[in-house]
Amino acid sequence: MVEDVADLPSPALLVYRGRVEANLRRMVTLAGGVHRLRPHIKTHKMPDLVRLQLDLGITRFKCATIAEAEMAAMCGVPDLLLAYPLVGPNARRFAELIAAFPRTRFSATGDAAEGLAALAEAVRGLQPPTVEGSPVPVLLDLDVGQHRTGVVANGQAVELYRWIASQPAFSPGGLHAYDGHIIESEPAARAAACEAAFAPVARLRDQLVALGLPVPRIVAGGTPTLAIHARMEGVECSPGTCVFWDACYAAKFPDLGFEPAALVLTRVVSKPAANCLCLDLGYKAVAAEVPHPRVHFLGLPDAQARLHSEEHLVVETEQAGRFRVGDCLYGLPWHICPTVALHAEAVVVQEGRVAGRWKVAARDRRLSI
């Protein structure tokens, strides 16, 4: 998998640039063009990958943390949505971002007047008050079935959107609707679930427009529903995981046509029994928030996890005899997004050899702001 692997310490995150670029092209194709995209940064958190997307002509992005927002602004992203409730000091930090990066058009989401009032106060405290005198666009966050953040698209949503429009520090930025609960593998069933979840959003948009309130955009969906939202007029699609793909999405959504572009490199550090391998792939190196298998090893389909701790992963396999201490294995994580955040950098592989390193800059909670 990597010709010069002997020089790579393990565990390590490997990113295959050719496959990343193919996934980005596939993302643009499914969306129907770069103008329909607002990709999420949360999966990769890497300036180099943001620049690849900028080079493709993508100008709008989405993120979830202040650090991700700062990293994107440092890359020169023209339009950035921070889609996470800005509470406590993060309201002030968001205002500081606006002041520090006047060339980036920042917007935010919200689902509660209390939090948004604090954000409005922080924005009003800016000197100058806002970027070029323009209010900050705020999108109303809608709960379309995941029950994590957002308000239901009903009368309460209308009143909150009206309140947003009344704030001098804000402008009504539209609607945000993430449907992460939609995980149907069968494409027709997934499309039906997506369309049902989106129907109240479309009705709310029409109601707001009828009341004279502008709804300049709807930001909707993730990777699983990308192709479905791309068929809906006026929707900005915000996929994230597709840039790297992972074992979970490969198993659930083969129809989307993306390919794995990131692996973890690990080595055998011990052989505690005849049929066991102990690997240096603890849960400090691969995401462990899901049940096993947390990683699928290439060429070792029968591997079963027996113990997982901070620095070790013990797997049982009838093929253990093939391996010696020090041998390498390559694994496809079940969940790539939190796996990336466990690594300070990714080793870039191109044509089978190490071609550089990409810093996972926004894994930190704070850069400078």
Q: Which domains does the chain possess?
A: 5-11+257-363 (2.40.37.20), 19-244 (3.20.20.10)
Q: Tell me what pLDDT residue 125 has.
A: 82
Q: Tell me what pLDDT residue 342 has.
A: 98
Q: Tell me what pLDDT residue 128 has.
A: 55
| Tokens linked to 115 | 């939090």
Contact 179, 221 (CB under 8 A): yes
Buried b (16+ CB within 10 A) or exposed e, 168-202: ebbbbbbbbbbbeebebeeeeebbebbeebbebbb
What is the residue-averaged pLDDT of the chain?
A: 96
6-9 long-range CB contacts below 8 Å, 24 or more apart?
7/354, 8/265, 8/347, 8/354
Q: Tell me what pLDDT residue 131 has.
A: 47
In this prediction, the residues of the chain whose per-residue pLDDT falls under 50 are 129, 131
Label the pairing between strands 136-142 and 105-110. parallel
Query: Hey, which bits of 198-246 come out as E strands?
Result: 218-220, 235-237
Q: Tell me what pLDDT residue 24 has.
A: 98
Provide the β-strand partners of residue 359. 345
* Close Cβ partners of 206 (under 8 Å, ≥ 6 residues apart): none
